[in-house]
Amino acid sequence: MATAGAVTMGLALTSGAAVVPAAVAVDGVTTIELDADHAWFGQIADVPVTVTEGGAPAEGHVQLFVDGSRQVPLIELSGGRATLPLFTDLQTVGVHELEVRHLDPDATSECRCASSATTSVEILEPSAPLLTPASWIHGAPTTLRFDVTGTDLPTLGSVELQLHDSVAAQLVDGVADLEIAGDEATGSMIVLVQRRAHGEVQTRWRLPVDVLPAPVTVGAEIPGTWRRGEIVRIPVEVTSAHGTPTGAVSVTLMDDGAGVPLTRESLVDGRAELAVDVADLPGGEQQIEVSVATGDGFESTRKQYTVDVLPAATRTVVSTASRWTYGTGRTVTVDVTSPAGTPEGRVVLYQAGTRIAGADLVQGHASVSVRGKKVEPGRRTIVAKFVPATPDHAASRTSWTQRVRKAQPTVRLRMKRTSYLAYADLTGGKPGRIVVRTTGVPEVGKLVLQTRDPAAKNDGWRSRKSWWLSRSEDGVQRIKVPGRYLDKVGGRTGRVYLRIRYIPADSEHVAKRRSPRVTIYHL
């Protein structure tokens, strides 16, 4: 393929405006020259393209892009030329960038661009309607008026409406009247060809139209009360003065203006019976719409009914530890199920009629965090209530007996020295440290030093000395143990055991606890 190439593009838009040439270079090899700088909204503007390589007609394909978006498929060059359609009705009124890309003739995809050219064109809005009326009843004879006086295009010539049977009329002072039978299959767009006075094509138009269907009457028998989980049967009859309508009937739930399809059945001799499964419907007063989508030019219509949908039952199941500890937070897992979809709402826990915690459901599941002091120690009955967020589901509840034990403190005694020589003087105070930790409650209470000499005649634990532990000490107290409590009977060698008994001030909520023993060695 040649290394140098050029694309020349002209918009074939004949108008009273002067020629506005524009040239844009891309890599120094691609140029564009426009015959006019605007098109009219609704036109199918022809974009003639000429591509050369080294001064000779190029081969391959060209492609049109508007504002970077592809508008038409690849079109093959013939003698270096091609005509690309610009559908202005797909764009907005205003200035748009046009780009023509020349693709390598050996390209196997649309990505191998040999050269390209860009320029801009303005799409204008005609000052007068091009087509009136823009709508008519299917089957009714109608006169369509085509008017180009709101553009700068010639007002003489003819116009042809391209249907299965073409309809043509002469333009007189820019206006032509087209007689149609009204039963033509036009769709939502019609294409008109505007010709000059000598018969050659001036331009083409693609304009929107609305063909109104023949009216019909719909009768439906809908019960006023529905219950979720049941099947509701709705007989429907559709009639028309123009014959027996065909098509289908649909039942739709109107949810905040948005339709949720429920069922659909085809019409047989203008009748249909529809079955609606109420399981997935929200509860409460609902708007149900019966719509008829007909064919063969009949009207598609709809009618709304108000029904009362009773809510679906729900089931609440809880899961938690069999034993809680006062002062320690716990999580209660709650699952809410329903045969009519996943419930939405909130789960609230109550104990003795008082709300203790709550959480929102997420996909029918909630993890409810209960603070450590919300439930008193003992055997307590807790109720879990599901409060639905919508009338889709009914409320439900369950209860269980929960065992809550007192807060469980940990007590530790640490002595700075744990070994002494036998017969040594232990009359002075020996330093130690007591640490009490209780989750969720302050460490306040009485500390009792207990000792035990396994060699003594009475070798049991004996309470020796006590201290008070206050909130300001934050569970830590430094002590001095009198030496006489550490000595063995007769000053002999061996072991003496020490421990601390913690008696909490709030014994209603906190359990008593003893520390592990500390061994004092006499060598």
Residues 437 and 386 in one domain: no
Please give the residue that has the higher pLDDT: either 479 or 239. Answer: 479
- State the CATH number of the domain containing residue 440: 2.60.40.1940
Q: Take residue 159 and report the two structure tokens written for it.
A: 């116009």
How many other β-carbons are positioned within 10 Å of the β-carbon of residue 332?
23
pLDDT of residue 11: 45
Residues 114 and 21 in one domain: yes
pLDDT of residue 52: 83
With respect to residue 1, please indicate whether it lies within any of the assigned structural domains: no
Pairwise CA distance, residues 284 & 251, whole Å: 18
Please state the rounded mean pLDDT for residues 457-486. Answer: 93
Report the share of the chain in percent with pLDDT over 70: 90
Residues 292 and 342 in one domain: no
Task: Tell me the helices (H) and strands (E) count for the chain, helix number first.
Answer: 0, 44
Picking from 390, 405, 420, the residue at the C-terminal end of a domain is 405
Residues 255 and 342 in one domain: no
Residues 150 and 251 in one domain: no
Residue 22 has pLDDT above 60, yes or no: no
Residues 426 and 502 in one domain: yes
Residues 81 and 112 in one domain: yes
Please state the rounded mean pLDDT for residues 4-20. Answer: 40
Report the DSSP pairing between strands 225-227 and 301-310. parallel
Query: Which residue segment(s) compose the domain that 138 sits in?
Result: 131-212
Q: Distances from the Cα of 305 to the Cαs of 219, 253, 290, 373, in angstroms? A: 12, 10, 8, 53
Please state the rounded mean pLDDT for residues 204-210. Answer: 91
Average pLDDT, the chain: 86
476 closest CA partner among 422, 424, 409: 409
Picking from 310, 342, 376, the residue at the C-terminal end of a domain is 310
How many distinct structural domains can be found in the chain? 5
Summarised one tens digit per residue, pLDDT across range 320-359 is 999 999 999 999 999 999 877 899 999 999 999 999 999 9
- State the CATH number of the domain containing residue 379: 2.60.40.10
Length of the chain equals 523
Q: Any idea which of 217-226, 235-244, 245-254, 508-517 has the lowest mean pLDDT?
A: 235-244
With respect to residue 280, please indicate whether it lies within any of the assigned structural domains: yes
Residues 401 and 418 in one domain: no
Residues 141 and 188 in one domain: yes
pLDDT of residue 412: 98
Residues 395 and 467 in one domain: no
Residues 431 and 505 in one domain: yes
With respect to residue 429, please indicate whether it lies within any of the assigned structural domains: yes
Summarised one tens digit per residue, pLDDT across range 190-202 is 899 999 988 899 9
Contacts of 89 (CB under 8 A, 6+ apart): 41, 42, 206, 207, 208
Please state the rounded mean pLDDT for residues 179-193. Answer: 81
With respect to residue 222, please indicate whether it lies within any of the assigned structural domains: yes
Pairwise CA distance, residues 478 & 192, whole Å: 103
Please state the rounded mean pLDDT for residues 114-139. Answer: 86
CB 58 within 8 A of CB 77: yes
Q: Report residue 402's pLDDT band, with 50, 70 and 90 as the boundaries.
A: very high
Contacts of 40 (CB under 8 A, 6+ apart): 88, 123, 124, 125, 126, 151, 153
- State the CATH number of the domain containing residue 291: 2.60.40.2410
Q: Which residue has the tokens 């797909």?
A: 90
Picking from 353, 383, 405, the residue at the C-terminal end of a domain is 405
Residues 272 and 191 in one domain: no
